[in-house]
Structures are given as C-alpha cells and as structure tokens.
Structure 1
C-alpha cells in the first residue's frame, strides 16, 4: 500500500543526537603528547647539528641531513592525514597512527644514540663513515616518525573540538603549551653535561663523554614519550569509522566523525585553484614564516658555539660550551613560549589572529637582525677571560633566544587554528587539512636545507647569511599577515537554513 494512508503510519525519522562536548580537561590530556614529541625535537634541534659535525660531516653539508624532515613532511604527513581520515580501525582513526609513530620514534632515537657504537661494531676507525650512515638512517627515520605522529595529533584535537572555533584555538593553545614544556625539559637535558656520570654504561670506547650525554638524553626521551603517548591516547575513546554510517554506542563521550569528501595528495594539488583567498594568504604567510624559522632551528646552538664562543666542532671545549649555553637559551625560549601560549586565545579575541601573527613575525625579524649585530660585535672583541666571551655578549644572546619564544608560540598555534577553520567548508578531513598547511611548511624547509649550508660557506662559513635571509622573510610575512589576513574571526560558524 502506498500513498498518504501508509505515510500516516510511518514514524517521523529521529534526529541524530547532538555530540557531547568534550571537556577541556580531556583536551588537555590529549594535547599532553606534544610534551613527549617535543622533548625529542628539542634534543634533535639543540644537539644533532653539532653532533653530526663531530662525526665528520662538514658544516656546509650539515643542513642536508635535515632535508628528510621537509621531504617526509611533504609526502608522509598528507598521506597519513588522508589514510587516517578514512581509517576504520576499531581503535579509531587517529590513535593507531599516533601509537605507530611513537614506536618508530623509539627505534629511531636508539639508532641515533648508539650510532657511534654501531659504527665501531661494523669496523670504524679514526674516520667514522659507518657511524655517519647509522646516524643518518636513524635521523631520517626519526623525521618520518615525527611526521606520522604530528598530523594525527593535531587532527585528533580538531575532531574533538568540531566547529567550535574558540575551543579549537584553546586546544591548539594547550598543544603549544605542552610543546613548550617538552622544549623546556628537552633543552634543559641537552644543556646538562653530566648525564654520562648518572648513566655510566653509556660511555664506551667508541662513545666519548659528549656522545654519552647525547645517548643518555635520548634514553630519557623514550621514557617520557611512552608516558605521554599513553596519557594522550587513553584520554578519549574514538568511535570507529563505520562505512555504513551507523556509529557504535559507548558510555564514554565519543567522536562523531564527519567522513566527508577527502582528496588524496595529487587530487589536493589539482584542487589548489579552488582554495579561497584567506586560505592562500595563510599558506603564503606560513611559508615565509618558516623560511625565517628554519635557519634558526638548524643552527641556533651552532651559532652560539661558533660565533659567540668562537669554537669549532672537535677542537677544544669552547664549541661544546657554546652548544650547551645555546641549549640553555632555547630552554628560556621555551619558557617564554609556554607563557605566551596561555594568553594567545585572549590576544586573538582582542586584536584578531591576523594582527597578532603579523606583529609576532616582525618581532621575530627584529630578533634575527639583533643576532647579526651580536655576531658582528663578538667577532671584534678580545676574549681575555680564558678564551670565553664576555658575559654581556652571552647575556644578550640568551635574551634574544628568550624573546623569540613569543613569536614561536604564535607560529605553533595560530596557523593551525586558522587553517582548520578555513578548510572546513571545503569538506576536507581534519587529517588532510593539517597536510595542506604542512605543504606550506615543508617546501620552505627544503629550500633552506638545500641552500643554507652552501650559502653560508660561500660567505665565509658562518651562519650570518642564512640568518639575514631569515630576517627578511620574517619581516615580509609579518607585513602580509597584518595587511591581508582578516582581523576578526567568529567563534562559531553561521548556520544556514
């Protein structure tokens, strides 16, 4: 029987229940994984550029070792974002990738920490080509593993906050806060020179005191990463993606997943012409910002060791003293990063995300110019205090490192919140949305990795040429952000009926 008679007996279709709002304390727990991940990044950024030069790779080519980071980010993060958006595992979409990435990081840091021992077992002598090969393999695996984790971590927070833009900014501020904490712990660990005495088994015939300190630091990294990964992935019970759109029930507030039209990497690249103007501006500002940041992240402690303490890798203790002082400066940087993260949401609501981002990038440019001035002053000073630089020069360098924590907090927060909001209307999954932004990060990093070492060598072998380019790029990104990005953004999207 058809017609009105039958329709009269049909029950009206029930509206799907509204998704429970995830408590802020749960977002806080999920974001805690950033502490474990960033602890390892801090060790990588502060210790590995100097260490790779100790193994025998010249300064002019040291930046090429870092090429894997942007390369893997270009390929791995969009791929993982795409696959995680479609993942139908009973453990959820994001958590399997987070756990797999953590396991890969553990393997990678063990290879890096024991690279000198591996080279010795394989027959290294005075020259250490096998140790270099082991180090590079571990280093590249670490970058791949970090990219496997980072996209799903950010996407999980975006899944939890949904279309609530204010909570999205809060979640990213939590993430930035834990990144700051991980940086503080990591850089403090890297600046301490006594780990070899606490863990005496790390010192071997092929692994000197400096090597043993690095090895011990990475062992601590493993412990912290395992703890924070467990805390994070146990904080939320992801609802499995059901291909027939019949979500399973749970007593826990779960993620109601919007499985909309995702595009794979090549489809995404082909659809770039459809991106709105605000998205393009965010991507352009992000690219210029990372042309500014990457030379600093590559050579910050090397700059302190070479140009402030006038040391060279493997020659005396001045260089190593400078590297440890640089790690201490980065710890101060992370303290400022954490403090700034607490106020980002309020600043963006008051002045607008575009203005906050632009002003912070101009501050970053001023800091890089200041570093160039400090380098010039230090090169013309007489080091009469046992060959060490005057306290005033060291304090000035540390102040610059600390102030740079303010724009770094903005970089780690605002672009992610903005891209998550702007790409929402395109129907991209949040995993792939993070991949979109990542393209604007990794391509500039590839350019810097390929060019900064030879560029520096061309102008005398220091780090000043790369920092000059960084200052110009940071200033340009600040102007574009201030002039072109919207000043205000609504906390909640408009509803169309």
Structure 2
C-alpha cells in the first residue's frame, strides 16, 4: 500500500515537468516577436522636424514684410507664396514615389532628408544675401530688381526644399514603427512636439531685434538693420537645421532597399502598391467621383477654412506693422516694431497650438471630432471678425502715423493671435 502511494506521488510530480517541457517546446516553435524600436531613436529621428519648422516660422513671420522692403508691392506679395501649395501638391507625392523605390546604400529616406536640408541651407543663404547680390549686379537702395529676382528664386527653392524634407521624415518614422500602432502614435507625438519647439524658437528669433549685433558682419551698404536681422536669423536656422538633421540621420537604422525592390517592409504590400505607384496622381483624382455627399461637405468646409487661414499666415506680422503700428516698409521704425510684435504673437499662438495638439486626442474622445471641428471654425471666424474690429478702432483713434499704438490695442491683437492657436491646431489635425 505504501509503495502504491509513493508511485502515485512520483507520477503527480512528473506531470507538471512534462507539461512545462511541452509548453517550452511550443514556445520555441513560435516565431520571436520583432523587437520594438527604441523610443530614444524615434525621439532623435523626429528632431529634424524642429529644424524644418524653425525655418518655416522665420519664413512666415519675416519674409512677407522683407519682400515689401525690397520693393515688391503689397498686393503682389501673396503671389510669391503660391509655390507653397504648388510644391505641396506636386513635390511631396513625387518625392514619396521616388523615396519608396530608392536603392541607395544609405537607405530610402535619409538621402532625401539630407538633400532637402542642404537645399534649405542654400535657399536661406540666397534669401538672406539677396540684397547684397543685387547690389553687386548694380541695384540701388531705391531700385532693387536684381535683389527681388534673387529673393524669389531662393524663396521658391526654400518651399520646395521644405516639402522634400518633411515627407521622407514622416515616412522614416513610419518605416521604423511598422505595424506597431502604439509606437506610431508616440512617433507622431514626438514629431508634433519638435514642430512646436521649432515654431516657438523660430518666432522668438524673429521677434528679437538685436541679432545684427551678434553677427556684426551682416550689416552692409545694401543691407540695413532689418535686413541684417533677417540674415542673422537665417544663420541661426542653418545651425539648427544642421544639428537636427545630423542627429536624425545618424540615429536612424535604415535597411537599404535592394536593386530588385525586395525590402522586408515592402514585401507585404508589394501586390497592392505596384499599380498605385504607376498611377501616381491620376488615381488620386479619379477617386473624386466616388466621394459621398458627407465627404464632399467635409472637403468644401476644409477648403473654405484654409481660404481664411492662408491670408492670416501670410500677412499676420504685416497686419501688425501696418494696421496696428501704422508703419510702412522702409519708412521709420514703427513697421519693424510691429513686425517683431507680430512675431511675438505668433510665438504665443504656437504655444497654444502645441498644448492643443497634445490634448487633442483626449478632447476628441470626450467631445467628438465633429463637435471640436465645428467649434474651432466658429472661434476662427470670431477671431478674424475681431481683427476687423481692432483695425477699425485703431484707425479711428487717431494715433496711426503719429505715435505708437495704445497698450490696449496691442494686447487685444496679441490675444487674438494667441486664441487662434486652438483652431489652427484643430484645422491641421482633425480636418486633415
């Protein structure tokens, strides 16, 4: 009897061991899960967004006033900005198409990021030295046709270069995260974070008037203090874009695409993407006829929204210099002071935009994206109407052209700029 009980106990001890061995064999048979990309790598790769956005902030805050100082009439200034939408429509899809099939040993995305960053450096050097180049070709302080031509050339290169760099950077983050949705959300959050940092630093740089003292060599016979500040700000942009680009491309571990196009990431989607790449833009336009009425409504409202945003983004600092401070380009210090104050307003706008972007997912879960989008559009309309009211009050007080604006007018303008950060964040996220 004792021997029988001893045998039963031994069998019971052996069963868990056999079960554990069986589980071990099954676990060994399952393929190992792919290693998750380190958060530190995503953070470093996304940092280039800060360098790109730093230049965008300088471009939006300073270049519309500067081109008028070169002699281009106010009504024609917006024509120069047409390159932005055109390059976004044509360059980004083309760069995406080419980078998907790039067989460089450095990877698919990094060559385009580096090439775009070098083009940005070349473009801002051309823009910053446009007055000097025109002077060398015979321009005078009153007539600057050469400077205007050089400026426009550099400006269009800058818009194209920005689009060349942004698309591959986002695509690189997508390549690194793969199908890991959590890592993808983190990567997008990092990208948005660096965009906000770049905006804040860029607008802060544009609002400071003493950069020409740091870079004293920027003052030349053809380049006054305002021009020298712009040139100096672009030197800071070059340093920032160089550092962030280096950090980004060194951190990324890209697997080169073979000459046959067989890449681990692409194999799963090879059957779907082959014809799509060849169709290019035509397939995109061909899908319009399949859109339902709600989709057309969303697209129409989005288009009307950006018709409102576009003039604000182009002429915000110019509005502050002309309508609030009563100045004119090249006619006294009021205009330049107003432009710098407008850049300060855009800095506050970027802070609100960044905070809203961080909280937007939670707000959408709580209130719904449609409700937030509607509220943001109403708020945008109220702010733009408020700008008309502030302009009317400023022009009827009687200080314009004689003195600096009252503190209340300036504060009201800055509040409008700040509040507009919320609807701008929603327009850039939910409706897109």
Aligned to 1:88: 103
Kindly indicate whether residue 188 of structure 2 is the aligned counterpart of residue 176 of structure 1: no
Aligned to 1:27: 42
Q: Please list every run of 5 or more consecutive structure 2 residues that lacks an aligned counterpart in the other structure.
A: 1-28
Aligned to 1:124: 139
Q: Which has the higher mean CA deviation after the structures are superposed, 102-111 or 25-34?
A: 25-34
TM-score for the superposition, normalised by structure 1: 0.74
Change (3 A) 1:30 1:360: farther
Kindly indicate whether residue 87 of structure 2 is the aligned counterpart of residue 72 of structure 1: yes
Change (3 A) 1:239 1:352: farther
Change (3 A) 1:86 1:76: same
Corresponding residue to 2:168 among 152, 167, 179: 152
Aligned to 2:257: 241
Query: Partners of 2:238 and 2:99 in 1: how far apart?
Result: 25
Change (3 A) 1:286 1:256: farther
Query: Partners of 1:47 and 1:257 in 2: how far apart?
Result: 46
Q: Deviations over 1:353-402 (max 9, x none)?
A: 34333332322222112111111111111329960111001001001111
Aligned length: 398
Secondary structure at 1:26 match in 2: helix
Q: After superposition, where does 1:410-421 map in structure 2 within 5 Å? A: 410-415=426-431
Q: After superposition, where does 1:464-475 map in structure 2 within 5 Å? A: none
Aligned to 2:312: 296
Corresponding residue to 1:371 among 359, 367, 387: 387
Q: What is the CA-CA distance between 1:27 and the residue it aligns to? A: 2.7
Q: What is the CA-CA distance between 1:350 and the residue it aligns to? A: 2.8
Aligned to 2:396: 380
CA RMSD of aligned residues (A): 2.6
Conserved? CA contact 2:103–2:258, under 8 Å: yes
Larger radius of gyration: 2
Query: Partners of 1:105 and 1:67 in 2: how far apart?
Result: 18
Structure number with greater CO (CA < 8 Å, separation at least 6) is 1
Corresponding residue to 1:273 among 250, 272, 289: 289
Kindly indicate whether residue 193 of structure 2 is the aligned counterpart of residue 193 of structure 1: no
Q: Deviations over 1:195-237 (max 9, x none)?
A: 1111110000111111000000001000000111122222321
Q: Deviations over 1:25-67 (max 9, x none)?
A: 4333222211111111111111110110011010011111111
Kindly indicate whether residue 349 of structure 2 is the aligned counterpart of residue 333 of structure 1: yes
Conserved? CA contact 2:326–2:400, under 8 Å: no
Q: What is the CA-CA distance between 1:306 and the residue it aligns to? A: 0.8
Corresponding residue to 2:373 among 357, 365, 371: 357
Corresponding residue to 1:98 among 90, 104, 113: 113
Q: Please list every run of 5 or more consecutive structure 1 residues that lacks an aligned counterpart in the other structure.
A: 1-13, 249-253, 417-497
Query: Partners of 1:206 and 1:46 in 2: how far apart?
Result: 22
Q: Deviations over 1:70-93 (max 9, x none)?
A: 122221111112112222322222
Conserved? CA contact 2:325–2:334, under 8 Å: yes
